[in-house]
């Protein structure tokens, strides 16, 4: 099922999120509005706002609070993309040049900071310290995950557990935060908030695991990002971990060399992907993603049936299929 169809129950709210994002990125300094909007419009499936809105509607939370906080969560995400682009000199972000290519590192860092501050101010405006704490904590986890990823880049000794820790921090915690915040504004009991968090966390892990598989197994058209970026950046993701565990010494050597070389991996990518497929490294990584997706769905079973719950179940499915 397409994400658009899945999100139909909150479509009008998603439009209000867009209006909120436009309002939040207004500035006397036109460079700020321009760069911030470029990054925000340049993409994004708005999966985090969709999650927050669906969870909010399912639990009966205030719409206006949900819209504001959805914008805040998306701005944290956009800020981290902008800072990430500085880091890896990404030249392509969802098919368009990254902000740092268009405006330079200076602007990417500062406009990322600007979005971050605006998100904090939105969180503050809800006058609920649990929300502020959840959002600041998720932002911190995202950053810690990104730092850990850098520390562990080119480290072939990384195991599955450590890899899962990195993707939990850098991706799943913000997914989890979107669901948590929705539950908080709905005023549900702590046990329900905790369930919402768990659902978001499992979903986020499933989502990032699938991203990491698609990085080796997708065309630029389909996924909007150039395949092989992880390889290029020295990120040892599960497909690589799985392959290195199973393959022969010559194959190991070839893969390690490709990762350590700073050259574009295009030439080597096909060869590496075929080694990965030979050892079922991609399919077994996707199997793990499916396990997390299933876990996410199971966590939803404690909630009463509703149209929104159906959508959340479908998002859990979507996280591992990415149907257009």
Report the site for its own copies in 82-111 (rule: CB under 8 A): 83, 86-88, 105-107, 109-111
Task: Report the distance separating Cα 174 and Cα 179, nearest Å.
Answer: 9
Point out which span in 125-133, 187-195, 199-207, 313-321 binds its own copies (CB under 8 A). 125-133
**Alpha-carbon dihedral of residues 137, 138, 139, 143, nearest 10 degrees?**
100
280 binds its own copies (CB under 8 A): no
Helix segments in the chain, DSSP class H: 3-6, 11-24, 30-41, 47-59, 63-88, 99-103, 105-125, 129-151, 160-167, 173-186, 190-214, 220-223, 229-233, 238-246, 249-260, 266-278, 281-300, 307-321
Size of the site for its own copies (CB under 8 A): 38
Report the site for its own copies in 142-171 (rule: CB under 8 A): 143-144, 146-148, 150-151
55 binds its own copies (CB under 8 A): no
Strand partners, 96: 93
218 binds its own copies (CB under 8 A): no
CB closer to its own copies out of 105 and 218: 105
Cβ contacts of residue 41 below 8 Å, gap of 6+? none
What's the angle, vertex CA 1, arms to CA 311 and CA 4, rounded to 5?
70
CB closer to its own copies out of 6 and 86: 86
Least Å distance, CB 59 to its own copies, is 23
CB closer to its own copies out of 176 and 242: 176
Interacting residues with its own copies (CB under 8 A): 27, 29, 31-32, 80, 83, 86-88, 105-107, 109-111, 113-114, 116-118, 120-121, 124, 127, 129, 132-133, 136-137, 139-140, 143-144, 146-148, 150-151
């Amino acid at each position: 099922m397409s994400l658009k169809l899945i999100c139909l129950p909150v479509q009008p709210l998603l439009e209000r999120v867009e209006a909120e994002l436009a309002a939040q990125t207004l500035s006397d300094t036109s460079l700020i509005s321009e760069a911030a909007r470029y990054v925000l419009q340049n993409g994004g499936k708005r999966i985090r706002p969709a999650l927050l809105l669906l969870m909010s509607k399912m639990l009966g939370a205030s719409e206006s609070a949900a819209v504001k906080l959805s914008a805040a969560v998306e701005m944290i995400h956009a800020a981290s993309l902008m800072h990430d682009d500085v880091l890896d000199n990404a030249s392509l972000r969802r098919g368009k040049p990254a902000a740092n290519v268009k405006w330079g590192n200076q602007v990417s860092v500062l406009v990322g900071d600007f979005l971050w501050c605006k998100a904090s101010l939105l969180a503050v405006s809800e006058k609920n310290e649990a929300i502020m704490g959840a959002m600041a904590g998720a932002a911190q986890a995202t950053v810690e995950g990104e730092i850990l990823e850098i520390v562990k880049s080119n480290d072939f000794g990384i195991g599955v557990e450590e890899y899962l820790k990195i993707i939990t921090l850098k991706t799943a915690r913000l997914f989890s935060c979107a669901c948590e915040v929705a539950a908080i504004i709905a005023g549900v009991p702590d046990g329900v908030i905790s369930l919402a968090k768990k659902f978001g966390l499992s979903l986020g892990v499933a989502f990032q695991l699938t991203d990491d598989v698609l990085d080796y197994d997708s065309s630029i058209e389909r996924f909007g990002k150039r395949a092989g970026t992880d390889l290029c950046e020295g990120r040892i993701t599960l497909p690589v971990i799985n392959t290195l565990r199973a393959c022969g010494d010559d194959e190991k050597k070839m893969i390690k060399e490709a990762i350590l070389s700073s050259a574009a991996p295009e030439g080597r990518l096909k060869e590496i992907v075929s080694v990965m497929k030979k050892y079922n490294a991609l399919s077994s990584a996707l199997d793990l993603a499916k396990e997390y997706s299933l876990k996410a769905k199971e966590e939803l079973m404690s909630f009463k049936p509703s149209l929104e719950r159906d959508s959340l179940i479908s998002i859990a499915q979507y996280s591992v299929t990415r149907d257009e």
